Chains A and B, each alone.
Chain A
Amino acid sequence: MNLLISIIVVSGLVLLAAGIAASHTASYALTVVAPYLVFVVFLGGFIYRIVKWAKSPVPFRIPTTCGQEKTLPWIKNNPVENPSGFWGVFGRMAQEIFLFRSLFRNTEVKIIDGRPIYGSAKWLWFFGLLFHGSLLIIILRHLRFFTEPIIPCVNALSAVDGFLEIGVPALYLSDVALLAGLTFLFLRRVIIPQVRYISLFTDYFSLLLICGIAVTGLLMRHFFPADLNEIKTLAMSWIIFSPVVPQNISVVFYIHLCFVFTLMAWFPFSKLMHMGGVFMSPTRNLANNSRMLRHINPWNAPVKVHTYEEYEDEFRDKMKTACLPVEKE
């Protein structure tokens, strides 16, 4: 059901884009107004979400650790998997962000001869890394439309990405890798019953939307070639704040643009915010130093205390009368 709604929404976007391409006023809205609106929503929403997360108090360390904590000098500790200082945390965060360390720990359980057997399961990690890596490369490659003169390293990246020179224009390996990653992530949701059960609209929608962007991009490169000169002129006109409505641009480009704008505007309010959120995972970015430092809960209400000494001072006379022992005479 969630999948069906996602498909309907994505198809609706395609129809919307086709409608926009047919109308001059709507084309103006999409190519002149929408880019700035969407960019502001993206930036504003992103900052809002990060600040909102940052405000939530994290009173204590949450040590989900995977190694020996720093302790007595003759016990060997693991400074990255159970960090006690800044550089250990830095190493753990770098592993998490660039290599998806947590996903690498993924296990699967099988019942063999009536007993559960745990084994490693690296497929999600592999395809997840493949997908994210190729998405990054694709975004960087798109800088050729947004910089003039083109940054040399972007041209170099494109050259490496298309080095097999399959077809003209050359097929980019990152495009293939992205589609492979998306296919795995999608099939995983649809085929594994447990994952399908917990999959929501937003899970399917984000996958289908990115898939739609990739497919329309590939269509414009390999099947219905777009006039790149005109597209770059449009992109550069946004950058220099004098946008122009393009004249001879295919409907495929409008669909691509509609998908991208939807993704950008929706991004800060969706689960895709894990892009910023991963930096704020308390189990990853806090050093496990609870035994070295005292962390005081900021929520603690001030407790009114009445110590025994004060109690005795207050009631000494009455205690003496009742023959109770007192510490001070």
Chain B
Amino acid sequence: MKKNKWGMIALGLVIFLIMVTFPFWYGKGSKTPPPVLSLDTPVIHEMKEKRCVEDTSFMRANHMKMLNAWRDEAVREGHRQYTAKDGRTYEKSLSGTCIQCHSNREQFCTRCHDYVGAKPTCFNCHVVPGEVNK
């Protein structure tokens, strides 16, 4: 071991460098742009004031917590009305409320979820009307 000491050290440093710079050479050249979320659905087109249950930045960060809370409150406690911050009311329902507007799961939900590696289990049970199961 001692004779090729510098060989061993160089080998170790090279392995270390390859590992810590891994993201730089993985997928090199494929400058994938961040996902663009499509709001191009018939229901959204017909809306005069295009707005979700809450404002966009809140929904982007908190939609999973909201859906989880809705699930518990609606299914387990029977409270089916959600009052938004601005006083409007919605039915707490993924299929009945969210998917009515966002009926394009592939272009809306999945794009972001794939990008950040989130694996929600919503659609293990819920279906988007008109979508063919692959």
Q: Bound pair: A and B?
A: yes
> A: which residues have CB within 8 A of B?
42-43, 46-47, 50-51, 54, 58, 86, 89, 143-151, 154-155, 158-159, 165, 167-169, 225-229, 231-233, 236, 239-240, 248, 276, 279, 285-287, 295
Measured in the bound complex, the distance between the Cα atoms of B17 and A240 in whole Å is 18
Counting CB contacts under 8 A, is B5 at the interface?
A: yes
B-chain residues with CB within 8 Å of residue A155 when the two chains form the complex: 117, 119
Residues on the A chain within 8 Å of B31, using CB: 240
Q: Are the C-beta atoms of B12 and A279 separated by less than 8 Å?
A: yes
Q: List 21 A-B contacts (CB under 8 A).
A: A47-B13, A50-B13, A51-B9, A54-B5, A58-B2, A143-B23, A144-B116, A146-B23, A147-B23, A149-B27, A154-B117, A155-B119, A227-B57, A228-B116, A229-B35, A232-B115, A232-B116, A240-B31, A276-B12, A276-B16, A295-B2
Within B1-24, the residues touching A (CB, 8 Å) are 1-2, 5-6, 9, 12-13, 16-17, 20, 22-24
A47–B68 CA distance with the chains assembled, in angstroms: 47
| Across-interface contacts of A286 in B (CB, < 8 A) | 1-2
Contact of A159 among B61, B114, B115, B119 (CB under 8 A): B119
Q: Name the B residues within 8 Å of A229 (CB-CB).
A: 34-35, 60, 112, 115-116
> Looking at chain B's contact residues, is the secondary structure mostly helix, strand, loop, or mixed?
helix
For A42, A158, A228, A285, which residue has the most chain B Cβ atoms within 10 angstroms? A228
In-complex Cβ contact of B1 among A50, A86, A150 (8 A): A86
Per the 8 Å Cβ criterion, residues 25-45 of B in contact with A are 26-27, 30-32, 34-35
**Residue with the highest number of chain A CB atoms closer than 10 Å, among B6, B22, B60:** B60
Inter-chain contacts of B117 with A (CB < 8 A): 144, 150, 154-155, 158
Question: Please, how many angstroms separate the alpha-carbon atoms of A155 and B1 in the complex?
Answer: 39
A57–B31 CA distance with the chains assembled, in angstroms:
47
Contact, CB under 8 Å: B64 / A168: yes
- Contact between B23 and A239, CB atoms less than 8 A apart: yes
A155-B120 Cα distance, complex, nearest whole Å? 12
User: Which of A58, A144, A167, A227 is within 8 Å of B61, CB to CB?
Assistant: A227
A225 in complex: contacting residue of B13, B64, B112, B114, CB < 8 Å:
B64
Which has the most chain A C-beta neighbours within 10 Å: B1, B23, B62?
A: B23
Pairwise interchain contact B118-A169, C-beta atoms closer than 8 A: yes
Determine which of A46, A147, A233, A287 lies in contact with B27 in the assembled complex, contact meaning CB atoms within 8 Å.
A147
B133 at the interface (CB under 8 A from A): no
Q: Is B76 an interface residue (CB 8 A)?
A: no
In the assembly, what is the distance between CA of A218 and CA of B26, in Å?
27
Interface of A is mostly: helix
B116–A54 touching, CB < 8 Å: no
**Cross-chain contact A148 with B27 (CB below 8 angstroms):** yes
B window 58-86: CB within 8 A of A: 60-62, 64-65, 67-68
CB distance from A7 to the nearest CB of B (A): 30
Contact partner of B68 among A150, A159, A168, A295, CB < 8 A? A168
Chain A residue nearest to B63 in the complex (CB): A225
Q: Are A239 and B12 touching (Cβ within 8 A)?
A: no
Tell me the complex Cα distance, A226–B116, Å: 12
Query: In the complex, what residues of A have CB within 8 A of residue B35's CB?
Result: 229
Q: Which residues of A contact B22 (CB under 8 A)?
A: 143
Q: What 4 A-B pairs come out closest when comparing CB atoms?
A: A146-B23, A144-B117, A168-B68, A228-B116
Report the separation of the CA atoms of residues A149 and B32 in the bound assembly, to the nearest whole angstrom: 8
Which residue on A lies nearest to B111, using beta carbons? A229
Knowing that A42-B20, A228-B118 are A-B contacts, what are 6 other residue pairs whose CB atoms are under 8 Å apart, sorted by A's residue number? A43-B17, A148-B30, A148-B32, A168-B120, A169-B64, A240-B31
B34 touches A236 (CB 8 A): yes
Contacts of B68 in A (CB 8 A): 167-168
In the bound complex, do residue A225 and residue B9 qualify as a contact, i.e. CB atoms below 8 Å apart?
Answer: no
Q: How far is the CB of B36 from chain A (nearest CB, A)?
A: 11
User: With a CB–CB cut-off of 8 A, which chain A residues contact B12?
Assistant: 50, 276, 279
Q: Are A285 and B23 also in contact (CB < 8 A) when A228-B116, A229-B112 are?
A: no
Asked whether, in the complex, the Cβ of B65 is within 8 Å of the Cβ of A168, the reply is yes
